[in-house]
Structure 1
Amino acid sequence: MRFHSCPRYSAGMALIQSFPQLWLLSDARNDAVLEAALARLPRGSGFIYRHYHLPPVERLARFARLARLARARGHTVVLADSALTAREWGADGIYGAPRALCPRRDDLLRLATVHSLAEMAAARRMGADAVLLSPVFATRTHPGAGFLGPLRWRLLAGKAGAMPVIALGGMNARTARRLNWPHWAAIDGLSAL
């Protein structure tokens, strides 16, 4: 598949005063504890709202409620959807595959989900502001699937250039210390009470 290049902007990064170190991702399995998890995150963290399991009207209503709570704590709110929907819903940015990040006609933060060298290159061409590189470790999201491990993960992260790289997949406070990386994201690892 051939990707077209998208101009690289730092406008999305201007939306936030400093790039969040921690990113909480929403999922059907952590939905019941999201309010508490958002309250526990350090001020100025990031929140990626996915909730693919909900029908559109319910998904929007849940987003609105969680976005209010997140913003009250100074969190950056990113939506796993199109730029058009993110603007309509009032999100700070979008999250998705590199090819979904273009065209850039706004100042939304763009976070690309990346699993390989080819996807990392595509994210750079598409003008991603940052990438979530996964899976670092074994994860409940994809039980039994392969994972990169710290060494291969760091080698791939080194190909990101100036883009911040967020570690994802099996991440929690313990694995974050093991990886020794400043930016990480989790579903379960930041949701446990």
Structure 2
Amino acid sequence: MAGNPDERGLWQAAQALNRAAAAVSPAASALPPLLFFTDPARTPRPWEVAARMPAGSGVVYRGFGRAEAGAEARRLRQATTARGMVLLIGQDEGLAEAVEADGVHLPERDRGRVADLRRRHPRWILTGALHDPEAGPADTDRALDALVLSPVFRAGGASAARPPLGAEGLAERVARLGLPVYGLGGITAGSVRALPGSGLCGVAAIEGVLEAYGPGRS
């Protein structure tokens, strides 16, 4: 794969994790190995990043109810469609329907909505956030396609105050959840090298994706 070392390293490591997870749970093979989580402050023009990402990866757009969310989500839908990528919308089912997204990512407090979403949108990809590494999945979580566990490493943003899981013992935690799991938080082309054997189906990132695919990278 052409591109800078961060781009090659992050994508190749994410694909390797997905292949290993799919060998145990075939459902993982239908999931994007790499998810780009948007953030209004840190990723103001996320469609420009998506336009550089590899086919088969995905974006989780988090509009947080902002007035410009509809326009931004539509631009992301255009970019992800052109690149052969998956687009998930954070929390907002109506916006996901409006832009014909591929599914929804649920914050931790909203994971209880998954059964209802699954009934009404059986073809959607549904993921849910999990911040408590000791918590087991709820019964309704079985309707999710994957959990997004964070923070794996020291992270910024909302996860800055949470202690990181670290690579040690991650495989045991992932196995205990019994669902495909993404790792989020401090994921970069460098840190992802510590994750083979973790059982993760892929990785999710903000800064790590910007380092690899942000405008100006070559």
| TM score, norm. by length of structure 2 | 0.71
Correspondence for 2:181 = 165
1:70: how far off?
1.2
Distance (whole Å) between structure 2 residues aligned to residue 125 and residue 77 of structure 1: 21
- Provide the rounded CA distance (Å) in 1 between the counterparts of 2:191 and 2:130: 19
1:34-60 alpha-carbon deviations (Å, 9 max, x no partner): 2332122211101100032622xx111
Residues 139 and 170, structure 1, Cα contact 8 Å, conserved in 2:
yes
Following TM superposition, the consecutive aligned residue runs of length 4 or more in structure 1 with deviations greater than 3 angstroms are 82-85, 117-120, 123-126
Name 2:40's counterpart in structure 1. Answer: 28
What SS is found at the alignment partner of 1:102?
A: helix
What amino acid does structure 1 have at the position aligned with 2:165?
L
2:206 equivalent in structure 1:
187
- Cα distance between partner residues in 1 of 2:87 and 2:165: 27
Matched residue SS, 1:113: strand
> Does the aligned pair in 2 maintain the 1:78–1:92 contact within 8 Å?
yes
1:60 aligns with 2:70: yes
Alignment match, 1:139: 155
Write the distance in 1 (CA, Å) between the matches of 2:112 and 2:69. 23
Paired letter, 2:55: R
CA contact (8 A) 1:111 1:132 kept: yes
SS in 1 for 2:194: helix
Equivalent position of 1:99 in the other structure: 112
Alpha-carbon distance between aligned partners in 2 of 1:19 and 1:99, rounded to the nearest angstrom: 21
Superposed CA deviations along residues 82-133 of structure 1, whole A, max 9, x for unmatched, are 4344223311101013213231222211101112356541276451111111
TM-score under structure 1 normalisation?
A: 0.80
Structure 2 segments unaligned to the other structure (5+ residues)? 1-27
Match 1:80 to one of 90, 96, 106: 90
- Cα distance between partner residues in 2 of 1:53 and 1:138: 27
Partners of 2:186 and 2:208 within 8 A in 1: yes
In structure 1, runs of 5+ residues without a counterpart are 1-15
In 2: Cα distance, 1:71 partner to 1:188 partner: 23
Alpha-carbon deviation of 1:168? 0.4
Size of the aligned set, in residue pairs, is: 175
Closer, same or farther in 2 for the Cα pair 1:179/1:124, shift >3 Å?
Answer: farther
Name 2:52's counterpart in structure 1.
40
Q: The residue matched to 2:164 in structure 1 has which SS?
A: coil
The answer on whether the counterparts of 1:124 and 1:160 sit within 8 Å (CA) in structure 2 is: no
**Whole-Å Cα distance in 2 between the matches of residues 169 and 20 of structure 1?**
17
Q: Give the 3-state SS of the residue equivalent to 1:30 in structure 2.
A: coil
Distance 1:152 1:17 in 2: 24
